[in-house]
Amino acid sequence: MIPKIRNALNFVEHGSFDRSPFFFRPTWARTTASGAICLVILVLSTTCAIHYMEPLLATGLFDHIYKPEAVVGAVVVCLLMYTVRDFLISFRADIVMNLRIAQANQWLSYGSFLSADHNDDQPISMGQMLLITSRAKDGEDGLQVACLATLRGEPVLITAKFDSSCMVQGIGYREPDQIRSMLEEAAGKWRYNVAEGVGIEFGPNAPGSLMGTPERGLPRKERKEPGPLSTPNSLALAGGRK
């Protein structure tokens, strides 16, 4: 429910060499929520200490240890310690996530990838790619990033994982069947529009499809949540629908 990454799914209809529409922006929602809960418990524990604990300490705490006031005070203290621990864990997790997001944004601009479908051992620079989508998912093993781009009119789906490693090498897939199977991972709700734009059949007419009537996305004129608009330097896709 708490968003970990702002703009975790980005889409530019005609693609763009400008990387700013595809960057991921972190959010401190987890730390903010944990800090608010911790503050509430701190106020509650302070109130309990003022109203209950002071008279107990004045007359001897162990003489009243089984009284309801002492039990309530102990519970509140334990709850406060737990919320402080949860706040520190959330703060550390957000810092790690921010570092990974910064690393992913750097890779989108200056990184590279290796082709998984061609006998080409030379890395291809991300700066050569006309990006269409970028998507990030947070997982226990790191930040998973998938994006769709075109290189000289040919669609390429690129994936990369960002964890504690400093060097990141993406993997690019060019085979239409492989791209079709991973399109939802890279484009999400925009998968039908993206498939149409890069000339990949995505529906009952696709090779090997057993579907009846495909689930279609919203028509262009009925979109309610459009992606970022193309920048002035954007280029139209070279490959149209076949």
Instruction: Take residue 186 and report the two structure tokens written for it.
Output: 């890279």
What's the mean pLDDT in 1-28? Answer: 84
Q: Is the pLDDT of residue 205 over 60?
A: no
Task: Give me the residue label for tokens 């001897």.
Answer: 60
Q: Is the pLDDT of residue 89 over 70?
A: yes
Strands of the sheet with 154-162, listed across from one edge:
9-16, 130-139, 142-151, 154-162, 170-173, 112-115, 124-125
pTM, full prediction:
0.70
The count of other CB atoms within 10 Å of the CB of residue 232 is 6
Strands 112-115 and 170-173: parallel
What's the mean pLDDT in 160-173? Answer: 84
Q: From residue 203, give the alpha-carbon distance in Å to each of 175, 180, 207.
A: 17, 10, 9
Look at residue 152 and give its three-state secondary structure: coil
Look at residue 190 and give its three-state secondary structure: helix
- In terms of Cβ atoms closer than 10 Å to its own Cβ (0-12, 13-18, 19+), residue 238 is middle
Model pLDDT for residues 97-108, shown as the tens digit of each residue = 989 999 999 999
Model pLDDT for residues 148-158, shown as the tens digit of each residue = 998 888 889 99
pLDDT band of residue 188 (cuts 50, 70, 90) is confident
- In terms of Cβ atoms closer than 10 Å to its own Cβ (0-12, 13-18, 19+), residue 208 is exposed
